[in-house]
Amino acid sequence: MSSPTLPPSESFKFSMLLSDTRYRGMSLQVITFIIFMAVFFWLVDNTIKNLALLDKDVSFNFLWLRAGYDINQRLIPYTSDSTHGMAALVGILNTLLVAFVGCIIATVLGLFVGILRLSKNWIVAKLMSAYIEGFRNVPILLWIVMVFALLTEFTPAPRAFKGAEPEATMLFFESIAITNRGTYFPAPVLAEGAYWLLLCFGLSIVASIYIIRYANKQKKVTGKSLPTFWISVAVIIFPTLILFFAMGQPVSLEYPYLKGFNFKDGIHLRNSFLALTLALAFYTSAFIAEIVRAGIMAVSKGQSEAAASLGLRPNKIMSLIILPQALRVIVPPLISNYLNLTKNSSLAIAVGYMDVRGTLGGITLNQTGRELESMLLLMGFYLAVSLLISSFINYFNRSFQIVVR
């Protein structure tokens, strides 16, 4: 074996760190990193020093102190005796609720509006354009305040439902009350045995999923499609319905009724929640609609023509040919719209909705005077939620992408 000829060994010189392309890239990165860390430490050090100058320290102990204030919308048990940490948690759940409901409504609306904007029907297409441009080009804060004003100014006060000849009446057989404090719906009350019903319902859903899978397999083998929609609807509804009557109706509805100042019982959706969720959903749906339109238009026209020449009907073409391909284009920008909706929910204070910005970043911050700590926690929360949402959808997105072998 002959040893390979090595390049003439050069002794390493310090100047080579910048002049030699082998080292230059690395040394520039190290320098940038050092400068970045220096600035970062200067900022932290300066903050601590100046806090000390103001006689303030950085401490998160306030999270374990009694909060002392009440929150109207609570998804978990909370009283004024709970801690500031609990108040923050109540706010976090309220934020997540708005974000979750808002994203669902926005997606459904956006999908419909986006598809309808491409409709050949002139009026439909123009109406959808007006919807998109209207919501997309007005600041979200104005929409939130506007929806809230509509909900509070043009709906009757609970007192209007009082008396022998009330000015306002409840809708749908005295079950839903729309007031300027929110909308009251009947709430389901679970009696003994209701859990069996829930179990049955859950199993029915699982069964219908299996039926759909089976039908898809059959379709691949035989080419015949089964009426899966009606079959699965029947599977989901009938067993639960039969059990419901067989067990003597273990689930009943609790209707809201007027007592004293307000409606009691039932599910109370506050106007602040409705206004915030609807405004965020409308606003974001306009952006999603444009993304959907872009996704559909990105699918070449030849695809739909080919499908049409095979004899597929327009709705089949949309669901089988175009949307599956369009999703690849649609999903990535969809993430950023979900993130925007979640972050925009921090405008909740404009309508007095108690999200995490209102509890931790509002009342708690104000009562304890811990601005820096509260803001850091808030930023950490929004960062974590955003990263979670995007990693989740990225995971989801991978299943849509074309697999390259």
Partner 1 sequence: MKKLFLGVLTALALAAGGTFAGTLDDVKARGNLLCGVSTGAPGFATVDDSGKDVGFDVDYCRALAAAIFGDPMAVKFVGLTSAVRFTALAAGEVDILARNTTWTYSRDTDLKQTFLGVNYYDGQGFMVKKELGVKSTTELDGATVCIQVGTTTELNLADYFKENGMSYEPVPTADNAESQQQYLAGACDTYTTDASALHGTRVNLENPDDHLVLPEIISKEPLGPLVRHGDDNWADIGRWVLNALVIAEEKGITKANIDSWKDTKDAEIHRLLGTGDDDILAMVGLPKNAMYNAIKAGGNYGEIFENNLGATSGINIERGVNASWTKGGILYSPPFR
- Give me the residues that bind partner 1 (CB under 8 A), please: 43, 46-47, 49-51, 53-56, 68-72, 79-80, 141, 152-153, 157, 159, 180-181, 259-262, 264, 271-272, 346-347, 349-350, 352, 354, 357-358, 361-363, 365-369, 371-372, 374-375
Minimum distance from residue 148 beta carbon to partner 1 (Å): 10
Parallel, antiparallel or unpaired: strands 177-179 and 187-190: unpaired
Nearer Cβ to partner 1, position 50 or 216?
Answer: 50
Minimum distance from residue 316 beta carbon to partner 1 (Å): 48
Minimum distance from residue 345 beta carbon to partner 1 (Å): 13
Nearer Cβ to partner 1, position 46 or 121?
Answer: 46
What's the per-residue H, E or C state across the chain?
CCCCCCCCCCCCCCCHHHHCHHHHHHHHHHHHHHHHHHHHHHHHHHHHHHHHHCCCCCCCHHHHCECCCCCCCCCCCCCCCCEHHHHHHHHHHHHHHHHHHHHHHHHHHHHHHHHHHCCCCHHHHHHHHHHHHHHHCCCHHHHHHHHHHHHHHCCCCHHHHCCCCCCCCCHHHHCEEEEECEEEECEEEECCCHHHHHHHHHHHHHHHHHHHHHHHHHHHHHCCCCCHHHHHHHHHHHHHHHHHHHCCCCEEEECCEEECCEEECCEEEEHHHHHHHHHHHHHHHHHHHHHHHHHHHHCCHHHHHHHHHCCCCHHHHHHHHHHHHHHHHHHHHHHHHHHHHHHHHHHHHHHCCCCHHHHHHHHHHHHHCCHHHHHHHHHHHHHHHHHHHHHHHHHHHHCCCCCCC
Minimum distance from residue 61 beta carbon to partner 1 (Å): 11
Nearer Cβ to partner 1, position 332 or 352?
Answer: 352
Report CA-CA distances (Å) from 17 to 6, 10, 27, 30: 21, 14, 6, 11
Nearer Cβ to partner 1, position 190 or 375?
Answer: 375
Minimum distance from residue 362 beta carbon to partner 1 (Å): 6
Minimum distance from residue 81 beta carbon to partner 1 (Å): 8
How long, in residues, is the chain? Answer: 405
Nearer Cβ to partner 1, position 117 or 270?
Answer: 270
Minimum distance from residue 259 beta carbon to partner 1 (Å): 7
Minimum distance from residue 236 beta carbon to partner 1 (Å): 37
Nearer Cβ to partner 1, position 153 or 192?
Answer: 153
Nearer Cβ to partner 1, position 17 or 350?
Answer: 350
Nearer Cβ to partner 1, position 295 or 362?
Answer: 362
Nearer Cβ to partner 1, position 113 or 151?
Answer: 151
Minimum distance from residue 189 beta carbon to partner 1 (Å): 20
